[in-house]
Amino acid sequence: MNKTTQFRNLLASPKLEFLMEAHNGLSAKLVQEAGFKCVWASGLAMSAAMGVRDHNEASWTQVLEVLEFMSDAVDIPILVDADTGYGNFNNVRRLVRKLEQRGLAAMCIEDKLFPKTNSFIAGEKQELAGVEEFMGKIRAAKDTQRDAQFALVARVEALIAGRGMPEALDRASRYAEAGADAILIHSKKSTADEIFSFMQQWNHACPVVVVPTMYPSTSAQTLQDAGIKLVIWANHLLRASMTAMQQAAETIQREHSVLSLEHQIATVADVFRVQNEAELQAAEKRYLPSHRAVQVVKDKARIRG
């Protein structure tokens, strides 16, 4: 089944579905291996992995390169965190073209201004886009997509910006009117209370997506009971890998040896497995002239020592 249809099926699923963050081809593969049905290509995680901040410091084409590696790496759909769409409606149109060309199933745009600031950065004033302007971006995206199944998630930042529930509800229903296939309602509160309050008043014009980074103790069942359709675990592979990399680097630096780590980390064989080295070896047998294959075997033997 193609990826856009897979994503649509998740939106239509009668039960709560989960997206897991990835930030490069490797992490996308690990998300798929773990059994998730969809990847969240997180702007925060991709920028952090590139060593820059989540303020659109990486250009949209640099992000696109990462997305292409991720898309090639997995068979499950990817929901792209496309920030504000990297400009106005016209930039959004070009972005949709490029995402479709590279096999991305869906994109999420948020109603802030370019360059955006991560929603959890304290003390930053979060400027919102005008409602009409953002609706124009949604319509432009929907008019541009060639695959009718490509999905657009409109992210409402009114609660993040402290603009109150009536504005959040109004923006959500107007974005649905403009053609959004789902609404992401974001909150930075440590409980899900404002999310539940939103859900009680929401007209259910389209499915709702949440990112419970700041309210992690809310159970999946409670979110499902509130009528939420998709949950995004937005940054946990990035954070897990940071901890693992810090510990490994500190241990090796301290001990001047890799010995105590050897049994705790992925083996080189694991790396080859995730890279699907086996497929290339089978292909070499099929496609390389036999003398070439013999040479390859000799070369490999020499490298192994």
Q: Write down the least CB distance from residue 81 to Mg ion, Å.
A: 4
Does the annotation mark 225 as catalytic? no
118: exposed, middle or buried (C-beta count within 10 Å: 0-12, 13-18, 19+)?
Answer: middle
Instruction: Decide if residue 117 touches ligand SPV (CB under 6 A).
Output: no
**Kind and range of the H or E run holding 152:** strand 151-156
Nearer to ligand SPV, 205 or 214 (CB): 214
Q: Of 123, 112, 61, give the one whose Cα is nearest residue 83.
A: 112
Q: Does position 81 bind Mg ion by CB under 5 A?
A: yes
Instruction: Rule CB under 6 A: choose which of 3, 11, 32, 43 binds ligand SPV.
Output: 43
* Separation between Cα atoms, residue 164 and residue 186, nearest integer Å: 12
Q: Does 42 participate in binding ligand SPV (rule CB under 6 A)?
A: yes
The whole-angstrom separation of Cα 42 and Cα 190 is: 21
Backbone phi, then psi, for 284, in 5-degree steps?
A: -60, -40
Residues 205-224 that bind ligand SPV (CB under 6 A): 211, 213
Reading the block at residue 33, the tokens are: 């291996």
All residues at 6 or more sequence positions from 237 whose CB lies less than 8 Å from its CB, including other chains: 20, 21, 22, 23, 27, 30, 31, 45
Shortest Å distance, C-beta 208 to Mg ion: 18
**Which helix (H) or strand (E) segment is 154 a member of?**
strand 151-156
Rule CB under 6 A: is residue 63 a binding residue for ligand SPV?
Answer: no
With respect to ligand SPV, which residue has the nearer C-beta, 114 or 120? 120
Least distance from C-beta 157 to Mg ion, angstroms? 11
Which one of ligand SPV, Mg ion, none interacts with residue 234, CB within 5 to 8 A by kind?
ligand SPV
Q: How far is the CB of 209 from ligand SPV (least distance, A)?
A: 11
| Residue 9 touching ligand SPV (CB under 6 A) | no
Contact residue for ligand SPV among 62, 88, 118, 149 (CB under 6 A)? 118
Contact 96, 150 (CB under 8 A): yes
Residues in the chain: 305
Q: Which two tokens stand for residue 221?
A: 């069942």
Compose the 156-185 pattern: x for residues touching Mg ion by CB under 5 A, - for all others: ------------------------------
Residue in 54, 81, 83, 111 annotated catalytic: 54
Q: Answer for the pair 230, 209: CB distance below 8 angstroms, yes or no.
A: yes
Minimum CB separation from Mg ion for residue 42, in Å?
Answer: 6
Output the six-digit token pair for 270. 């694991």
Residues of this chain that interact with ligand SPV (CB under 6 A) are: 42-45, 81, 118-120, 211, 213, 234-235
| Catalytically annotated residues | 54
